[in-house]
Structures are given as structure tokens and as C-alpha cells.
């Protein structure tokens, strides 16, 4: 029968078949640092907030994530709810004076508790007025709605548009913003094109190596504690501007989240790019980048080990890390100046020249020379170092003159 002669309900059935075909997509394993960062934070049971322009695919990503993780998805549009929808609705009993007035949770919260697991998606968070944001504080941090507590199997993810592109948008309050891991959600041209062709990236939970769990926890604690010991002002720093207060900033709460994320990323073997997104999304760009730089130094060799066996010492390959290791050796000699340690440091500098760029020893050698006592003989290695350093300096000056001439 020709399509134009079909009854109206049959035509809708055909339209439904076409829509089914359009929605029939598949997924494939594909590197995606945004998606990997999101799944890692979800695995760590930390609330995540996706920031992105309208239509960028935040809701679609959450829907696909729930499907991939086999979690029932519950979507709550924060801006269309009243504060009582999150703090609980008062229900008057038979004897309020004796029994009080209990706060009844909404139906979606009851369904999540009955299921025991799920993905709670708080959408349009930046359009929620301050009163609603205040009511969300207990839900996001303590997982409580009225007298009801969400089970451990429920994960919380939110999405928001920047204030400039949100309908009647509000800045996030600092207490609410500080409870989230903030991820900037952007589109990848190749991912979008391939997805429109029917294949999207597959979201999978990170594979945690059980053997690495104790080591991962120890590394994360050492990393965060060592950094905050060296940078006490960053333990808590509330930004000055209202806009920055609505994003990630450092506090004891956000540093604890950072510690968890470093442990999970270490146990999962995640890339530095993924860890960078997560750390900067928790404590902010400045403190996050400082912490990431300090992580490299945690792997530096112990200067006392290098001084004990300079001939067999293994120095870092990267120039900045090698420089830091040599500086640490000189600092160790300064802290305990002894002739044998001074000689060992010179032998180590000679090894550094033999195995890497000679210009890296200029500053350590100058500092080490200033530590010499009058009764200490000059080791023979200094002459070799002096020639190498002199040659390096002449090359630097020649390069500078050539650059100036151009």
C-alpha cells in the first residue's frame, strides 16, 4: 500500500521505525581524556560537575555513561524544584508536639533507595537560585534528602552552563562549588563526526590493579601532604572574585578529594593528562599545576643514596628533574659538610656531565665549590668539569650572539 494511502496511526508507526533506526547507535573503545576523567571520578564516588555550553553533549554523555555502567539514570532539573524538594517535605503526624514533624523525601529519592544503585543527574545547576543551591548542599555532601540517606551505590553527576550562556543563570555558591570535581566539557570534532555516523566512544570504569592499592594510597598521601607542608597558604584559599568562587578552589575538603583522585589514577595507571583534568578541576588551575609539578619530584632519587654510590648513580633523564636531583645533592652536602661527601658530590657532577647536558651542572658546581673548606684538597674531577662547563658557556654565548645578529 503506498505510504500516502496509509491511515494516520500507521504513518506514525513508520515514523517510529525511522526514529528507531536513527537512534540505533553503537560504541567503541576510543581514547577520550574527558570521558576517562569523568569515569574515574565516578568510580571514586566523588560528585562531578560538567561545565559546557548548551548543546555540547553533556546530557548525552551522562545518558551513555549510565547505559555503559548499567546504572539506572535519574534526572532532576534543579532549577524547577523548590528547596523543600531537596531538604524534605514536612509531613504532620498524629502528635507533632510529641513525635515532631518528619521531612519526607521526594519520589525520585525513594526510587533510588529501593534500587540501591543508580546515577543521579542534577541538570541545569547554574540556573538554580541560591535558596535551591543551599538546599542541595546536604544532598551533594552527605547524600541525605530529608530523613533519607542515599545508598553507597548511587553516584552524583551535575551539569551546568556558564552564567553568560545560562537562562537566568546564577553563579554557584562557594560552599556548593567546593563539593564538586569540576570538568570543562568540550567537543572533539572527530568524536562528534564519528558519533553522528553511529559510533560513539565507550565509557568504561577504570581497571584498578588490586596489587597497587596500598602503594597508590601511600603515594597519594605523600604527594598531597608533602605539597601542603611546603605550601601552607594553599591549604585553604577562597578566591576573591564571585566567578572564581563558583569553580574549583583549594580547601581541606577539596584537597581530600584530590588525594582520592590521585590514588585512583595511580591504581588505574591513568595518564598525566587525565590526572591534570581532575586535579585542576578540584583545587583550581594554579594549585593544581603546582601539585602536578611536585609529583615529578616525588620520584627523584634520594640524595644520600646518590652520594653513597656516585659511580653507579642513576640520574633522571629529564633535564628539569636531573637539575633538581643535583641541587638536592648539593643541599645535602651543605646540611652536613664533610670531605668525603664533598668529593662524592663532585664525582656525581662528573657523572652528570658524562651522561647528559653539561650546562645542568653549572649552578650545582658553583654552589658546591663555595662549600670547600681550606683543608680540603681539590679533586681531579673539577678540572674536567671546568672544561666541560666552560665549553657549554662558550656555546651559549655564541648562540646568543647569533640570535642577536639575526
Q: What fold, for 28-90+101-201?
A: Rossmann fold (3.40.50)
User: 365 burial class (0-12, 13-18, 19+ CB within 10 angstroms)?
Assistant: buried
Radius of gyration of the chain (CA): 29
At 153, list the grid cell: 551505590
Confidence of residue 395 (pLDDT cuts 50, 70, 90): very low
Say how many C-beta atoms besides its own lie within 10 A of residue 14's C-beta.
11
User: Averaged over 239-243, what is the pLDDT?
Assistant: 85
Contact 344, 304 (CB under 8 A): no
**pLDDT at 78 exceeding the cut of 50:** yes
Residue-wise pLDDT tens digits, 312-370: 888 888 787 788 888 888 888 998 999 999 889 988 988 888 887 777 888 888 888 88
Backbone angles phi and psi of 88, in degrees to 5: 110, 145
Higher pLDDT, 1 or 12: 12
DSSP output for 338-395: -HHHHHHHHHHHHHHHHHS-GGGGHHHHHHHHTT--TTPPPPTHHHHHHHHHHHHHHH
User: Averaged over 399-405, what is the pLDDT?
Assistant: 60
Q: Which of 11-25, 190-204, 248-262, 333-347 has the highest mean pLDDT?
A: 248-262
Name the least confident of 37-41, 187-191, 207-211, 267-271: 187-191
Per-residue pLDDT, 260? 97
Residue 316, SS3 per DSSP = coil
Amino acid at each position: 500500500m503506498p505510504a500516502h494511502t496509509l491511515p494516520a496511526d500507521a504513518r506514525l508507526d513508520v515514523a517510529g521505525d525511522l526514529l528507531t533506526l536513527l537512534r540505533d547507535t553503537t560504541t567503541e573503545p576510543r581514547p577520550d581524556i574527558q570521558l576517562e576523567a569523568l569515569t574515574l571520578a565516578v568510580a571514586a564516588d566523588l560528585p562531578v560537575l560538567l561545565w559546557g555550553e548548551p548543546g555540547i553533549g553533556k546530557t548525552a554523555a551522562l545518558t551513555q555513561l549510565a547505559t555503559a555502567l548499567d546504572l539506572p539514570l535519574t534526572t532532576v532539573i534543579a532549577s524547577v524544584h523548590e528547596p523543600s524538594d531537596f531538604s524534605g517535605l514536612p509531613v504532620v503526624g498524629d502528635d507533632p508536639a510529641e513525635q515532631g514533624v518528619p521531612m519526607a523525601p521526594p519520589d525520585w529519592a525513594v526510587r533510588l533507595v529501593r534500587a540501591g544503585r543508580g546515577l543521579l543527574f542534577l541538570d541545569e545547576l547554574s540556573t538554580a537560585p541560591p535558596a535551591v543551591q543551599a538546599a542541595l548542599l546536604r544532598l551533594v555532601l552527605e547524600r541525605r534528602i530529608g530523613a533519607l540517606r542515599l545508598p553507597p551505590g548511587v553516584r552524583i553527576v551535575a551539569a551546568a552552563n556558564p552564567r553568560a550562556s545560562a537562562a537566568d543563570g546564577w553563579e554557584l555558591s562557594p560552599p556548593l562549588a567546593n563539593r564538586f570535581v569540576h570538568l570543562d566539557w568540550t567537543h572533539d570534532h572527530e568524536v562528534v563526526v564519528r558519533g553522528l555516523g553511529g559510533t560513539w566512544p565507550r565509557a568504561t570504569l577504570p581497571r584498578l590493579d588490586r596489587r597497587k592499592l596500598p602503594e597508590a594510597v601511600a603515594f597519594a598521601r605523600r604527594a598531597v601532604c608533602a605539597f601542603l607542608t611546603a605550601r601552607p597558604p594553599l591549604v585553604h584559599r577562597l578566591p576573591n572574585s564571585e566567578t572564581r568562587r563558583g569553580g574549583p578552589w583549594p580547601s581541606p575538603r577539596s584537597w581530600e578529594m584530590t588525594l582520592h583522585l590521585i590514588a585512583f589514577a595511580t591504581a588505574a595507571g591513568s595518564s598525566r593528562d587525565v590526572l591534570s583534568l581532575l586535579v585542576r578541576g578540584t583545587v583550581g588551575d594554579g594549585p593544581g599545576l603546582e601539585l602536578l609539578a611536585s609529583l615529578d619530584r616525588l620520584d627523584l632519587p634520594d640524595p644520600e643514596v646518590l652520594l653513597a654510590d656516585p659511580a653507579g648513580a642513576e640520574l633522571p633523564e629529564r633535564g628539569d628533574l636531573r637539575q633538581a636531583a643535583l641541587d638536592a645533592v648539593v643541599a645535602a652536602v651543605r646540611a652536613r659538610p664533610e670531605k668525603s661527601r664533598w668529593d662524592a658530590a663532585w664525582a656525581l657532577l662528573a657523572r652528570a656531565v658524562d651522561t647528559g647536558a653539561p650546562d645542568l651542572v653549572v649552578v650545582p658546581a658553583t654552589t658546591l665549590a663555595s662549600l670547600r673548606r681550606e683543608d680540603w684538597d681539590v679533586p681531579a674531577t673539577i678540572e674536567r668539569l671546568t672544561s666541560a662547563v666552560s665549553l657549554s658557556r662558550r656555546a651559549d654565548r655564541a648562540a646568543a650572539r647569533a640570535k642577536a645578529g639575526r
